Every structure is written in C-alpha cells, then in structure tokens.
Chains A and B, each alone.
Chain A
Amino acid sequence: MAFADDLLKDAYHLAARGGKNPRQSSLRRAVSSAYYALFHLLIADFVLNWRRPDQRVRLGRMFEHRKMSQAVFKFPGATLTPVEAELKKVIAAFAQLQENRYTADYDFGSNWSRIDVTNALAIADEAFKAWRIIRKERIAQDHLLTMFGARRV
C-alpha cells in the first residue's frame, strides 16, 4: 500500500504549498493525487488476491475509472451494519474524489479553493481509514469485484 500512502502524502504536500496564496496548479494536483491515492489503495488490495505477483500490475491496469464509480452496492437493510457503514463511506468518497479529479484536471472554468481541497483530502484520509477497517470483509472484497466490472449474481 506504500504507493497509495505516498500519493496521499503528496496530495497534502501540494495542498500546503504557497502559503496563503496557493497556485491553482498545486491545488489541482493535490485534488488529483488524492483521488489516485484512493484508486491505487483499492486496486492494490484487489490484485493481492491474484496468486502470481508478477501479473498483478497487468491485472490492476484493467480497472476502469468509469466502471469503478458506477459500481453499485445495494445495502440490504434500512439500518447499516458497521461494516456496511464504512463501505458506504468509501463508495461515497470514491465518487466525490473522482468527480473532483475530473474537474481539477479538465475544467479550468472555475477556481479551486484551499478549503475545498482541504475537505477533499480529509475525505480521502477518512476513506483510507474506513477501507483499512473493512478491507478483508467479504462485502468489501465483493465490492472490489464489482468495481473491477464483474456483474453481481
């Protein structure tokens, strides 16, 4: 998971640059890095299930951003279990960060504020913590499979 953690640290570093007058380029790169941090955290856990280490990078490259965010998880009951609540947090964070990343990388019609970037990084940080609590749970692994593109049966 070191790469994902490094990306998140980079995001914090970029967001802090510039003091009271941060450059838009730094803020945008911070937002983008925060998304990719979570993206790689999830992929790294998925490919660990593949027995041959030398093939894991290729497997990870098969993930598609669109499929990952459109992976739906239908929570069975009105009241969420603690594991479901953490998974819901990760799913919501992933969607928000992905949309943020797209805007940061491609939409130059508006400015990024430091507060919005700080919030995005906190969302990523919370998603990391939530994922690490549930990463070995069946529903978490099952959702990774859905993010990969596998249909639910």
Chain B
Amino acid sequence: MYLPIAVRKQPQIDAAVAEVAALLAPDVVHIRYEIGQDWSGQGAIFFRVLLSDEAGKKRLREVATQVVRHLADRLDFPALEVFPYHNFRSASEQAVFREEAWA
C-alpha cells in the first residue's frame, strides 16, 4: 500500500496541531488526527476537532474556519500528499458518545 509522505512527517504534524489547539484554546479543547485514505483512495488526513460547548453553540463557523485556516497555514498538505478533512463535535456531545477516536 502506498503511504503518503505525511506518515513520515508526524512529528511536524503533531507540532502544528498542538500549536493550533493552543492558539485557539479554550474554544478548541483538542485536535486528533489520522492519516489514511479518503473514500476515493486518495491520501487523506482526518482532523477531529473537539470544541468547547460554548464555541460549538455560539461561534461554530467562526472557530471551525479558524481551525481550518491555521492548520493550512502550518501544514503544506499537497507536499504531505494528503487532502485535509475536518470534523467537529462539542465536549458534551463527546461525553455522550464516548468515542475513543475523539478522546
């Protein structure tokens, strides 16, 4: 299976993700990610962004847009051979779902 360059660049990705999460705290609680393939088989990085309840209710698009922009500013996705996808949920939603991938 072909592995995108992003797989070898995880320390760089970790650093960028941590930086964005810190920059946007407390609206952003944390950001998890996974490198894989999208439905069409292309290299992909899936960001799972956990938001505070207040950000999720009152500033969802504003914060989501900032997350997308700050990640793109720090990570050259074409060079990493991945396309970025972003999904969001609030802390209280995660408290109900209790999914490990989002924890």
Does A96 make an interface contact (CB < 8 A)?
Answer: yes
Contact with A along B62-74 (1 / 0, CB 8 A): 0010000000000
B60 x A113 contact (CB < 8 A): no
**Distance, CA A106 to CA B39, complexed state (A):** 10
B89 x A113 contact (CB < 8 A): yes
**Distance, CA A115 to CA B86, complexed state (A):** 12
Can you list 16 A-B contacts (CB < 8 A)?
Answer: A69-B40, A95-B83, A95-B85, A99-B38, A99-B39, A99-B85, A102-B39, A106-B39, A113-B88, A113-B94, A113-B97, A115-B56, A115-B89, A115-B93, A119-B88, A122-B64
Contact with B along A84-106 (1 / 0, CB 8 A): 00000000000110111011001
B39 x A115 contact (CB < 8 A): no
Interface size class of A (residues with CB under 8 A): 20 to 34
Q: Is the interface of B mostly helix, strand, loop or mixed?
A: mixed
Q: A116 contacts which chain B residues (CB < 8 A)?
A: 87-89
CB within 8 Å for A115 and B51 given contacts A99-B85, A102-B39, A110-B101: yes
Chain A: CB-nearest residue to B72 = A92
Q: B12 contacts which chain A residues (CB < 8 A)?
A: none
Given contacts A100-B87, A115-B88, A116-B89, 12 further A-B contacts (CB under 8 A): A65-B40, A66-B40, A98-B39, A99-B39, A102-B39, A110-B101, A113-B97, A114-B93, A115-B56, A115-B60, A115-B93, A119-B88
**Distance, CA A43 to CA B43, complexed state (A):** 26
